[in-house]
Amino acid sequence: MSKVSIVYWSGTGNTEAMAYYIAEGVKEAGSEVELITADMANVSSLSEEKVVALGCPSMGVEVLEESVMEPLMCDLDGVIGGKQIGLFGSYGWGNQEWMRDWEDRILADGATVVNGEGIAVNGAPGENDAEELKALGRTLAGLL
Ligand SMILES: Cc1cc2nc3c(=O)[nH]c(=O)nc-3n(C[C@H](O)[C@H](O)[C@H](O)COP(=O)(O)O)c2cc1C
């Protein structure tokens, strides 16, 4: 049975909390979900999926985390064409440029950014964020 894979990197747990809310939404919609930390992601199995959610906070100076997530993303660039990709991540003090750049990268890979943009949350997700993230999970499930 097809499932939604949620692949994420999180240093202090904020993006991880977002991933869990998205997973809740997928399950609410009656679909299967797999939460995968970026260090455990298998590019060839992800290449078989139709719908994938990718999460990473803004790190460095408005970039993806560089030791695990960026190398993974470089591998994914070559295999995600045609897929539906949900993007999410937490940030601190910045202007969310990392998310805008990430969306552009997904489009350049020939994939679709679900809802047209990623969900960027300042710090830890609050109640409203949780609802938005669960809704993304339901949307992703509907795309399976
Ligand atoms: C090394 C480092 C670099 C960061 N760079 C940025 C940045 O450029 N822009 C920004 O908005 N937040 C930046 N942050 C803040 C994180 O994005 C923020 O703390 C986020 O909530 C961390 O998410 P996590 O708990 O999933 O690791 C940085 C944090 C660290 C530790």
Taking only the tens place, the pLDDT of each residue in 26-49 is 999 999 999 999 999 999 999 999
Is the C-beta atom of 11 inside 6 A of ligand 1?
Answer: yes
Is the C-beta atom of 90 inside 6 A of ligand 1?
Answer: yes
Counting from 1 in the atom list of ligand 1, the atom nearest the Cα of 123 is: 21
Secondary structure class of 17 (helix, strand, coil): helix
Beta bridge mates, 36 = 7
pLDDT digits over 123-138, tens only? Answer: 999 999 999 999 999 9
pLDDT digits over 43-70, tens only? Answer: 999 999 999 999 999 999 999 999 999 9
Q: Provide the mean pLDDT of the chain.
A: 97
Beta bridge mates, 55 = 8, 88
d(CA 70, CA 76): 10
In angstroms, what is the span from residue 133 Cα to ligand 1's centroid? Answer: 19
In angstroms, what is the span from residue 54 Cα to ligand 1's centroid? Answer: 16
Residue 1 has pLDDT above 70, yes or no: no
Is the C-beta atom of 92 inside 6 A of ligand 1?
Answer: yes
**Among 79, 71, 144, 85, CA closest to 118:** 85
pLDDT of residue 2: 85
Counting from 1 in the atom list of ligand 1, the atom nearest the Cα of 58 is: 17
Which residue do the tokens 């994938």 mark? Answer: 52
Stretch 111-121: mean pLDDT, rounded? Answer: 98
Write down all domains in the chain, each with its CATH number in brackets: 3-142 (3.40.50.360)
